Amino acid sequence: MTSTWTIEERSFRLKDAKSYEGLFTLGSGNLHVRGSLEEHLDGCPQDVIVPPGDTERHVEHTVKWGAYVPGIYGRHPLLRRQIVNLPFFLDLAPHAGDEKLDMQSSTVKRYRRALDMRTATLTRSLEWRTKTGAVIAVRFERFVSAARPALCVQRLTLTSDRAVDVRVLGGIDARVTTLNADLFSSVTPGRAGHGGVTCAVRTNLGDDVFMQTSLDAPGAALKHTAAGRCARAEARLRLAPGVPAVVEKRTAVTTSRDQAPASPARVLADAAELSYDDLHAEHAAVWAGRWSDADVVIEGDAWSQRSLRASLYHLMRSLPRGDNRVAICAKGYAGELYQGLFFWDTEMFMLPFFLYTQPAAARALVDFRVQSLPGAQRTAARYKYAGARYAWTSDDKGDECCGPWVFKDHQVHVTADVAYALAHYARATGDQRYLEGPAARVLVETARYWMSRMDTRSGDKRPHLLGVMGPDEFTPMTSNNSYTNRLVRFALELAARHGAAAGAAAAERRAWARTAPALPIPRSADGGLVLQCEEFDGMAEMDINAEWKNRSIMFCWQVPQERMFRSKCMKQADVIMLMTLFPGEFTRAEKLRAWKHYLPYTTHDSSLSFGTHCIMAAHLGLEDEAWEFWRKAAGLDLEVKRRAPAEGIHIAAAGNAWQAAVLGFAGVATAMQSDVLSLTPRLPAGWKRLAFPLVWKGTPVSIEIARRRVSVTNRGRTSLKARICGRLRTIAPGATAAQAL
Amino acid sequence: MTSTWTIEERSFRLKDAKSYEGLFTLGSGNLHVRGSLEEHLDGCPQDVIVPPGDTERHVEHTVKWGAYVPGIYGRHPLLRRQIVNLPFFLDLAPHAGDEKLDMQSSTVKRYRRALDMRTATLTRSLEWRTKTGAVIAVRFERFVSAARPALCVQRLTLTSDRAVDVRVLGGIDARVTTLNADLFSSVTPGRAGHGGVTCAVRTNLGDDVFMQTSLDAPGAALKHTAAGRCARAEARLRLAPGVPAVVEKRTAVTTSRDQAPASPARVLADAAELSYDDLHAEHAAVWAGRWSDADVVIEGDAWSQRSLRASLYHLMRSLPRGDNRVAICAKGYAGELYQGLFFWDTEMFMLPFFLYTQPAAARALVDFRVQSLPGAQRTAARYKYAGARYAWTSDDKGDECCGPWVFKDHQVHVTADVAYALAHYARATGDQRYLEGPAARVLVETARYWMSRMDTRSGDKRPHLLGVMGPDEFTPMTSNNSYTNRLVRFALELAARHGAAAGAAAAERRAWARTAPALPIPRSADGGLVLQCEEFDGMAEMDINAEWKNRSIMFCWQVPQERMFRSKCMKQADVIMLMTLFPGEFTRAEKLRAWKHYLPYTTHDSSLSFGTHCIMAAHLGLEDEAWEFWRKAAGLDLEVKRRAPAEGIHIAAAGNAWQAAVLGFAGVATAMQSDVLSLTPRLPAGWKRLAFPLVWKGTPVSIEIARRRVSVTNRGRTSLKARICGRLRTIAPGATAAQAL
């Protein structure tokens, strides 16, 4: 049985190749590279260019290289700022005589590719029967060093059953484009000392990326060339029967935006004395620490265990550590869709995982919004509003890069989500000074935006937020979206409380405090149903089941937007999301009514929907529903055959899966919901044990939930209060409080 | 004093040049050419190409050539079907030695350019003092022959005060682009026999356009060359002191889509025996007939007289006569904006003028929708609806070419407007069989669309039209827009009445008849205010005057769309338009209330707004307001300094101006509103007399309105009933019924 630490591919299928490339992405936070085949596939050019006017031309890539450094952007002709797909540096292609190893045309047996999530290492092994009859055992290994975030290390081991002359070609290949456009203004391949090759590219926005790679094989003849957009290295060696031959490739990638500038040659030189195994050991040690901080153990359900680890693996891989100039992009730096840019995903879906497992690392994510405040101010001004309005699709400068106006203009809740996240950071870490320090200006400026964004109506003095798209993107322009309004209430109250620190006068703060509760949270006439927005119940009735017959294709691809926009159909949790964030403000009856009312209209076209529904179902004790949504939330990117990870990782859904396990099944209340650590577990029937670490306001805690017993261990130095299944306990340092279920 | 038949330019100003190009457009319905200078201006290239991705690059053309043949389309990289700007064939550039006449650098006096609308002839005269001291009187004349719609005729007369050698360069210049893109797949300049030059272009959609031009000057030496994208002709002649020398240029343009294919050589040959004056005489005779059918005489107000004639001139010029494969495009074939395609403008704003003045010519406009029904069926199917849905921006095939989804998807009323227009044609001409002949299938198919487009709401059995943009384009997605719903009611009732002719079963027709009155026309709680849509009064309050300080810039350029879309601001008449179409269905109090309610929110950013407001104000007896809106409606495209006609003619507004005069001030009820000719004049204070012809159900009528007397003369062969100021009269053929006012 495969370890629950491993994601495995047992046979190579061309149509799954692109999905595995996404799923097998490796990364150090600083440098990310998709899980492409070292020897590539013939006939799959990666430098396709589609002129912007050529709207009829659709390019379906069989495989898609992807190498990304967060913060390295170019200008795409159809978009604004776009993360750049950097030159491909993984190539390591064995040739026996004139025959190249090729997954399509070669005779290959015993294929296995596996991502070891514990050590963030990708390996591939296969048996290659060459045309001359030799049987060569081939093993590839690679990792992007967590200890040296600019370094990627690869090893190829070849063992032949007879003597064979082989050539292994590696190097750097800049024949790549980003979303079918060339974003480089210059490409300079070259040769380095000691047999290395280099490639420098400048993006069309002026950033420089420097790459250097070295190919090394004991006893091999090395050759290096640079031509066109390629720098090539070649190792020629003779395999002796039964004797493993090893080729190692190391690539360093540095950029003009690095905080500690270094040449790639320096990065390689620093590692020169260390063997592959040495480098791997220091890399694995970093990952061991991460898993120790964050792993969620699920016993009795290998599928859930592996799936959730895949989510945590990608979350921890994606985080640009120690760099608050960027956050985690929507595809987790495993693809170039969504421009490699930043959405509310970070605040509402990814941040909690980091906050409660690696709070120091989480700080960069909230600081990202603080440092990009000027961009949010520019965005507000562009719309003629006061203050700061965070962009729906934010670049690293905080400027709006969203194309379609309907999202850009109307999906305004992100600005309140940012305030919520700043408060969440402060409460979860216990660092309340944060809100009166760096974050205060964000609170003040966003409150000013909200005040200028509100409207009045004829014959009505109350404030209203009109022309709003809530989280549900199928209802584009509505009045008083309850999710948005509740978050804005929160943001105004927060700014009223802490805004003095950024110079907001008392009168202004009083206005915020007065306005917040006046913002309507619309309800049905009988008061029992929280309305998504004022219009929702007057929208066109729609029988989702009748309209959505082919469930293998998303709802939104089957029903024209024109119809969706006026109909009762929802892309994702909206009122349900509101209720999971503010569970104490709604009765169980209200939650159940909202659940029953909205679920038949919800298509979950958004990957952000499943996890939130899982949390609410667990909370309501709807066991079957919770389980059903868990399966969809947790397994999303492992759906290789459905091509789910082909364009990258649904990284917000990954964060949501962690929330489903910890906030849903373990029933942990967030620091926004409870001052003391509080949990009320509701394990799925098949789970024997759920165990995970948390950091609660600075105190590390271990939580163990078995079928009949829950225990909380205080691993910190001060005593901890915890409410376990409603019972308040005080736990001394080192002690465990247990309780029967 | 300048004749009210003439639009005059008294001095050349560079910044007005592009506006005059639009305003001075000549055309035969088949061939249209903007009023560009024969000798062009240096430094104003017309072949600028902006690559589609280059969104930052803005090209402001000082002057803009434009030659268009309705139905000749290309594929623009950023759009779908786009009318093609054809090669420039007007050039006729006098040179004295090496000096070229140039409006910027030459010494020019006594400049005058004038469009004689009566004969559709453009002349320009000036005195050119050359650098060598000669004073040359230059006179250009041109017309596009109404008698030979493929022929443009030009004449240049030069009279020098001393002997000068001059060269005159003419030809065909294909160095042109359309909206900064090259839509030609091939350009072939050449030389023809008898000293002519030719240019054949193929559009990138495969249409061929053949051009041939001949330059002729008695006693001149002629030279012809073809190179690159130019075919050039040159005439060298010696001017004797005081003796006028004449250069004539004739250009024929034929295309692969002509209904009666002919080569341009044939067109030229057919006219070869005729002098310029002969050709002009036959051309002027056609125009004399048109004016006799349609001229509206306004005495006592030269400004109004000239302005209205400018509207009628462009309407009559724009109509592609006898060709129902195209209609009148949004810029009246005087520019390439709006893609040279077709909107509701035709049905609701232009058609009435033709219906009541040249009903036979009007037939092509309604037939256009009948013949393009298959495109409307494709459009419905694309949205997954039954029947036929006319495109918001229709090409000649009836397919949707609108880019922005918000208009394309939601502004559905055009489909009902088409049904209204078909009925209008039938009622105005008395040709009731039309609706049970060619038009029946349109009625049936559009009714089917409407039935499938309607929704129900929870707890409500009534049909609703949701997600609708009415005529007011500032409220994008609303429920039960009253204009739309009323028109749809009309369309359903019409289909119920006539649909059997196209095979609609009785049950289906009964369903239409039952559904029509159930469609809501929303009203305020007290019933007295017709609501634009259900949402309008809940939209954000907006003080238009406070927001719109700089009235020289349109409102929509000063307030972000994001705000407009949720606010009480209106681009144009919506409820008011409804009430002018169905005046008998609303009380005077309801009309006044709607007027007072909506006007403060109306910015009239749409040129379609003024005329409709003028009609309603006249109808309500709001004299000052009627006059104010008349000034804006009638004078729009004469606002050269505001650049109004720079990109083409507001041709729907031109049609609306005619309606303002005839339906507004003369108070004529349309055949949709009254079975008998009915009029209730309300002349503006300054007008002494308003006189115009009409054709009422086949009977030609002359109407004369003086300050104290109105008379109707029956110019037909059967007796006519007419209701004059409420009094029903029967008028014998040849007789006049007069009534004191």
Q: What is the pLDDT of residues B509-533, one digit of tens each?
A: 999 999 999 999 999 999 999 999 9
Q: Is residue B639 part of a domain?
A: yes
Q: Does A557 touch chain B (CB under 8 A)?
A: no
- Report, as an integer, the average pLDDT of B449-471: 96
Minimal Cβ distance to A562: which of B410, B479, B541: B410
Angle separating helix axes A359-371 and A440-453, nearest 10 degrees: 50
- Clarify whether residues B276 and B372 are in a common domain: no
Residue A134: CATH number of its domain: 2.70.98.40
Per CB-CB distance under 8 Å, the chain B contacts of A566 are 455, 466-467, 477, 479
- Clarify whether residues B416 and B498 are in a common domain: yes
Q: Has residue A508 got a pLDDT over 80?
A: yes
Q: Is residue A692 part of a domain?
A: no
- B560 and A409 within 8 Å at the Cβ level: the answer is yes
The residue of chain B with its CA nearest to that of A75 is: B53
Give, as one character, the DSSP assignment of residue A602: B
- Clarify whether residues B131 and B230 are in a common domain: yes
- Contact partners, residue A213, CB within 8 Å, separation at least 6: A89, A170, A171, A172, A196, A197, A198, A231, A233, A249, A250, A251, A252
Instruction: Please answer whether residues B71 and B326 qualify as being in contact, where contact means their C-beta atoms are separated by less than 8 angstroms.
Output: yes
Q: Which residue out of B407, B466, B559 would a mutagenesis test of the A interface target, given it has the greatest number of A Cβ atoms within 10 Å?
A: B466
Q: Does B405 touch chain A (CB under 8 A)?
A: yes
Q: Which residues of A197-235 are buried (b: 16+ CB within 10 A; e: fewer)?
A: bbbbbbbbeebebbbbbbbbbeebebebebeebbbbbbb
Instruction: Please answer whether residues B480 and B530 qualify as being in contact, where contact means their C-beta atoms are separated by less than 8 angstroms.
Output: no
Per CB-CB distance under 8 Å, the chain B contacts of A560 are 382-384, 409
Residue A669: CATH number of its domain: 1.50.10.10
- Clarify whether residues B311 and B282 are in a common domain: no
Q: How many CB atoms lie within 10 A of CB B507?
A: 7
Per CB-CB distance under 8 Å, the chain A contacts of B561 are 405, 409
- A562 and B476 within 8 Å at the Cβ level: the answer is no
- Clarify whether residues B639 and B552 are in a common domain: yes
Shortest Cα distance from A84 to chain B (angstroms)? 17
- B77 and A53 within 8 Å at the Cβ level: the answer is yes
- Report, as an integer, the average pLDDT of A190-211: 92
Number of domains in chain B: 2
Residue range B574-615, pLDDT digits in tens: 999 999 999 999 999 999 999 999 999 999 999 999 999 999
Q: Does A455 touch chain B (CB under 8 A)?
A: yes
**Percentage of the residues of chain A whose pLDDT score is greater than 70:** 99
pLDDT at A55: 67
Distance separating alpha carbons of residues B200 and B89, to the nearest angstrom: 12
- Clarify whether residues B427 and B304 are in a common domain: yes
- State the maximum Cα–Cα separation within chain B, in Å, rounded to a whole number: 91
Q: Which of residues 69-88 of A touch B (CB under 8 A)?
A: 77-78
Per CB-CB distance under 8 Å, the chain A contacts of B566 are 455, 466-467, 477, 479
| A618 phi/psi in degrees, rounded to 5 | -60, -45
For residue A350, give the nearest of A583, A108, A651, A561 by alpha carbon: A651
Distance separating alpha carbons of residues A560 and B148, to the nearest angstrom: 47
pLDDT at A30: 96
**CA A303: distance to chain centroid?**
20
Q: Is residue B226 part of a domain?
A: yes
- Report, as an integer, the average pLDDT of B485-510: 98
Q: Is residue A362 part of a domain?
A: yes
Instruction: Please answer whether residues B67 and B89 qualify as being in contact, where contact means their C-beta atoms are separated by less than 8 angstroms.
Output: yes
Distance separating alpha carbons of residues B102 and B105, to the nearest angstrom: 6
Instruction: Please answer whether residues A67 and A33 qualify as being in contact, where contact means their C-beta atoms are separated by less than 8 angstroms.
Output: yes
Average per-residue pLDDT in chain B? 96
- Report, as an integer, the average pLDDT of A280-297: 98
Q: Has residue B195 got a pLDDT over 80?
A: no
Q: Does B192 touch chain A (CB under 8 A)?
A: no
Q: How many CB atoms lie within 10 A of CB B457?
A: 17
Angle separating helix axes A440-453 and A482-498, nearest 10 degrees: 130
Q: Which residues of A641-656 are buried (b: 16+ CB within 10 A; e: fewer)?
A: eeebbbbbbbbbbbbb
Q: Is residue B728 part of a domain?
A: no
Q: Which residue out of B180, B455, B562, B563 would a mutagenesis test of the A interface target, given it has the greatest number of A Cβ atoms within 10 Å?
A: B562
| B624 phi/psi in degrees, rounded to 5 | -65, -45
Minimal Cβ distance to B458: which of A457, A541, A563: A541
- Report, as an integer, the average pLDDT of B634-646: 92
Q: What are the C-alpha distances in Å from A660 to residues A2, A51, A311, A316?
A: 24, 43, 12, 17
ipTM: 0.92
Q: Is residue B193 part of a domain?
A: yes
Average per-residue pLDDT in chain A? 96
Q: Which domain-ending residue is among A215, A250, A268?
A: A268
Q: Which domain-ending residue is among A673, A690, A725?
A: A673
CA angle B610, B616, B621 (to 5 degrees): 120
**CA A202: distance to chain centroid?**
26
Q: Is residue B595 part of a domain?
A: yes
- Clarify whether residues B129 and B267 are in a common domain: yes
The residue of chain B with its CA nearest to that of A50 is: B53
- Clarify whether residues B241 and B387 are in a common domain: no
Q: How confident is the model at residue B2 (pLDDT cuts 50, 70, 90)?
A: confident
Residue range A82-116, pLDDT digits in tens: 999 999 999 999 999 889 999 999 999 999 999 99
- A563 and B467 within 8 Å at the Cβ level: the answer is yes
pLDDT at A372: 98
* Radius of gyration of the CA atoms of chain A, in A: 27
pLDDT at A75: 94
Per CB-CB distance under 8 Å, the chain A contacts of B562 are 383, 405, 409-410, 467
Minimal Cβ distance to A541: which of B181, B383, B455: B455
Q: How far apart are the first and last CA of chain B?
A: 32
- B562 and A476 within 8 Å at the Cβ level: the answer is no
- A561 and B78 within 8 Å at the Cβ level: the answer is no
Q: Does A540 touch chain B (CB under 8 A)?
A: yes
Q: Has residue B57 got a pLDDT over 80?
A: no
pLDDT at B55: 67
Q: Does A458 touch chain B (CB under 8 A)?
A: yes
Per CB-CB distance under 8 Å, the chain B contacts of A469 are none
Q: Which domain-ending residue is among B645, B673, B701?
A: B673
Q: Is residue A383 part of a domain?
A: yes
Per CB-CB distance under 8 Å, the chain B contacts of A53 are 51-53, 77-78, 181
The residue of chain B with its CA nearest to that of A56 is: B77
Q: How confident is the model at residue B458 (pLDDT cuts 50, 70, 90)?
A: very high
- Clarify whether residues A264 and A308 are in a common domain: no
E strand or H helix at B580: helix B575-581
E strand or H helix at B95: strand B92-96
Per CB-CB distance under 8 Å, the chain A contacts of B458 are 537, 541, 568
Instruction: Please answer whether residues A441 and A540 qualify as being in contact, where contact means their C-beta atoms are separated by less than 8 angstroms.
Output: no
Q: How far apart are the first and last CA of chain A?
A: 32
Distance separating alpha carbons of residues B243 and B158, to the nearest angstrom: 8
Q: Does A537 touch chain B (CB under 8 A)?
A: yes
Minimal Cβ distance to B566: which of A456, A466, A565: A466
Residue range A388-409, pLDDT digits in tens: 999 999 999 999 999 999 999 9
pLDDT at A195: 67
Tell me which residue range forms the domain holding A186: 6-268
- Clarify whether residues B311 and B406 are in a common domain: yes
For residue A205, give the nearest of A189, A172, A181 by alpha carbon: A181
- Clarify whether residues A657 and A551 are in a common domain: yes
Q: Does B561 touch chain A (CB under 8 A)?
A: yes
pLDDT at B102: 95
- A384 and B559 within 8 Å at the Cβ level: the answer is yes
Instruction: Please answer whether residues A343 and A393 qualify as being in contact, where contact means their C-beta atoms are separated by less than 8 angstroms.
Output: yes
Q: How confident is the model at residue A358 (pLDDT cuts 50, 70, 90)?
A: very high
Q: How confident is the model at residue A227 (pLDDT cuts 50, 70, 90)?
A: confident
CB pairs < 8 Å spanning A and B: 117
- Clarify whether residues A256 and A300 are in a common domain: no
Q: What are the C-alpha distances in Å from A68 to residues A150, A254, A279, A320, B140?
A: 11, 11, 22, 12, 64
pLDDT at A215: 94
Per CB-CB distance under 8 Å, the chain B contacts of A476 are 477
Instruction: Please answer whether residues A615 and A659 qualify as being in contact, where contact means their C-beta atoms are separated by less than 8 angstroms.
Output: yes
Q: Does A99 touch chain B (CB under 8 A)?
A: no
